[in-house]
Amino acid sequence: MSTILLNFIKFNFQSLILAIFYLTLAIGTSIHILLHKDDIKSSIGWIALVFLSPFIGTILYIFLGINRVKRKSLKLKKVTSLNESYSHTLINDIFENLPINYKQFIMFGHKVYNQNFVFGNFIKPLQNGSQAYPEMIKTIKEAKKEVLISSYVFDYDSETEKFLDAFKIAISNGAEIKVLIDAIGTLSIFGLSIEKKLKKIKGLQYGIFLPLKFPLTLPLVNLRNHRKIMIIDGKTVFFGGMNLSKNNCLINDKKNAIIDITFKINGPAIQQAAEIFEEDWEFVTEKKFNSIAKSIKYTNSKGLAARVIPSGPDKKNNIIELIALGAINAAIKKILIITPYFLPERNILIALEMAAMRGVEVEIILPKIHNSFISKASEANFLNLINCGVKIFRTLPPFDHSKIFVVDSEWVFVGSANWDVRSFKLNFESNIEIFSKSLAKKLEIIAKEKKEKAILITAEYCKNISILKKLRNNMYRLLTPYG
């Protein structure tokens, strides 16, 4: 009997110690969440998980909820001379032909991210790999000094092999090649196949953004470099959301093809894009690097006004999200959004609904078929948007990966960012902000062609979605990462 009593006392003592340890850990974790998480929903979600899932919630927060990239990246961030303060007088002088709402928006945008607009940029949209890849490869082959490439996806296939051949030619010309790839974006069952190919090219340097070394890098698995930047000799940059894969060239293959767009840019905005690459390269390799783009002098000011906007967990604000929100609020006539993934938080949805309600023509073009099951959750937001006057189109296969944002047929925002929480809060992204009626018109023509082959979503369609699908959509919406 005494043995049973001792065992009972021992069991209860161990349980008490475990309970005290759990409460101490949960309270300590909650304090960290409250001090370091700005998003209220994110904080509530993490705290609930910590208390309702003893130990497991804390472990998940330690691995997935803490942003460790921020400190390291900020240490490597360089001080540049490209940023000067904007005043109302300066904006009136530089952008004298813009209406007052856009002058205010420029002031807002500069406070969000203090990068100035630079003039003299020439920007050409290139649709799909069939248009973009030949120009990219030709420019790489002609490189004499430097080729810098950052890509989320860099497959090894019949199309990308042409890039590898171009690298060898550029190296023989005396150019230095630096390639930055993301571990998740290029991951395959058999490993990073493109890494093996890059390794064999003598004179080429490459880096892998946050390489996967489980379980050590599990806390960083959510933080990916989603940027697509290709700078050649500091004079030309291909900038947008297009990855490097043969799927971008299979236009007639409805199952495997990916429709996309990128932009060929010549002008001083390249220097701003180069700064982003430099910072990413130094973060990955921990080696200082300065692109030759900084040494190029630009004197032609007749081109377009543009500025490059980086965003990521190493920045203080959700920069791209705030710029997008500001542009929606500044819109007077029309908003055009083309994106493969549309899962923004409520602030963006409300801004779009309010814009439509005050008479702005709002059009959103999305693919009908996604390569991500969570994207089905976007349907949960359709009815409210449509009831407020927003028009939603869904394009038929092949999958459309294009990312275009045009406001009032003049302001253009393009790049790597999608309209979802992952792009706005977790990924390292880069967009470019442009004032150009001519470029806006070209992109609106592309949008018109997409709409002609798309399905207009109606309120009736949304109301007729089955209960099971509605449950699925709302359940998937819960899986959207808060960060």
- pLDDT, tens digit, 9 for 90 and up, residues 448-480: 999 999 999 999 999 998 888 878 777 766 666
Q: Give yes or no: residues 154 and 275 share one domain.
A: yes
Q: For residue 83, is it within any domain?
A: yes
Q: For residue 238, is it within any domain?
A: yes
| Tokens 């959301």 found at | 241
Q: For residue 440, is it within any domain?
A: yes
Q: Give yes or no: residues 345 and 432 share one domain.
A: yes
Helices 319-330 + 100-112 axis angle, to 10: 170
Dihedral in degrees, nearest 10, Cα atoms 461, 464, 467, 468: -60
Q: For residue 107, is it within any domain?
A: no
Contact partners, residue 429, CB within 8 Å, separation at least 6:
226, 227, 310, 311, 312, 320, 415, 416, 417, 423
Q: For residue 367, is it within any domain?
A: yes
The whole-angstrom distance between residue 109's C-alpha and the CA centroid of its chain comes to 18
Least confidently predicted of 214-223, 347-356, 413-422: 214-223
Query: β-strand 399-400 against 261-266: which pairing, if any?
Result: unpaired
Q: For residue 305, is it within any domain?
A: yes
Q: Are 126 and 264 in contact (CB under 8 A)?
A: yes
Q: Which helix (H) or strand (E) holds 162?
A: helix 160-172
Q: Give yes or no: residues 294 and 339 share one domain.
A: no
Q: Give yes or no: residues 295 and 324 share one domain.
A: no
Q: Which residues face 455 on adjacent strands?
A: 394
Confidence of residue 77 (pLDDT cuts 50, 70, 90): very low
- How far is residue 67's CA from residue 220's CA, in Å, rounded to a whole number? 8
Please tell me the number of Cα atoms within 13 Å of 333 on its side-chain side: 8
Q: Give yes or no: residues 86 and 29 share one domain.
A: no
Domain ends where: 278, 309, 340? 309
What's the whole-model pTM score?
A: 0.85
Q: Give yes or no: residues 78 and 62 share one domain.
A: no
Give the residue-averaged pLDDT of 411-417: 98
Percent of the chain at pLDDT > 90 equals 60
| Tokens 């697509």 found at | 228
Contact partners, residue 108, CB within 8 Å, separation at least 6:
326
Q: Is 231 helix (H, G, I), strand (E, B) or coil?
A: strand
Q: What local confidence, expressed as pLDDT, does residue 65 receive? A: 65
Q: What local confidence, expressed as pLDDT, does residue 254 receive? A: 81
Q: Give yes or no: residues 303 and 163 share one domain.
A: yes
Phi first, then psi: give them for residue 56, nearest 5 degrees.
-60, -45
Among candidate residues 288, 290, 248, 255, the one with its CA nearest the CA of residue 271: 290
Among candidate residues 475, 441, 338, 480, the one with its CA nearest the CA of residue 399: 338
- How far is residue 463's CA from residue 466's CA, in Å, rounded to a whole number? 8
Handedness of CA 386, 391, 397, 401 (dihedral sign): negative
Q: Give yes or no: residues 360 and 462 share one domain.
A: yes
- How far is residue 288's CA from residue 270's CA, in Å, rounded to a whole number? 19
- pLDDT, tens digit, 9 for 90 and up, residues 261-297: 999 999 999 999 999 999 999 999 999 999 999 899 9
Q: Where are the beta strands (DSSP E) in 110-253?
A: 118-127, 146-151, 176-182, 204-209, 228-232, 236-240
Q: Give yes or no: residues 134 and 263 share one domain.
A: yes
Computed over its alpha carbons, how large is the radius of gyration of the chain?
24
Q: For residue 100, is it within any domain?
A: no
CATH assignment of the domain containing 352: 3.30.870.10
DSSP symbols for 280-298: HHHHHH------GGGG---
Q: Give yes or no: residues 82 and 62 share one domain.
A: no
- Average pLDDT of the chain? 86
Contact partners, residue 343, CB within 8 Å, separation at least 6:
374, 375, 377, 378, 381, 419, 420, 421, 477, 480
Residue 342 has pLDDT above 90, yes or no: yes
Q: What local confidence, expressed as pLDDT, does residue 48 receive? A: 79
Q: Are 351 and 324 in contact (CB under 8 A)?
A: no
Domain ends where: 279, 309, 339? 309
- How many domains is the chain built from? 3
Give the residue-averaged pLDDT of 432-436: 97
Q: Give yes or no: residues 271 and 330 share one domain.
A: no
Q: Give yes or no: residues 327 and 207 share one domain.
A: no
Q: For residue 111, is it within any domain?
A: no
- How far is residue 404's CA from residue 329's CA, in Å, rounded to a whole number? 17
Q: Which domain holds residue 186?
A: 74-94+119-309
Domain ends where: 309, 340, 369? 309
Give the residue-averaged pLDDT of 147-167: 96
Among candidate residues 67, 69, 57, 53, the one with its CA nearest the CA of residue 29: 57
Q: Are 352 and 385 in contact (CB under 8 A)?
A: yes
Q: Are 291 and 176 in contact (CB under 8 A)?
A: no
- pLDDT, tens digit, 9 for 90 and up, residues 206-248: 999 988 765 545 555 667 899 999 999 999 999 999 999 999 9
Helices 40-52 + 2-36 axis angle, to 10: 170
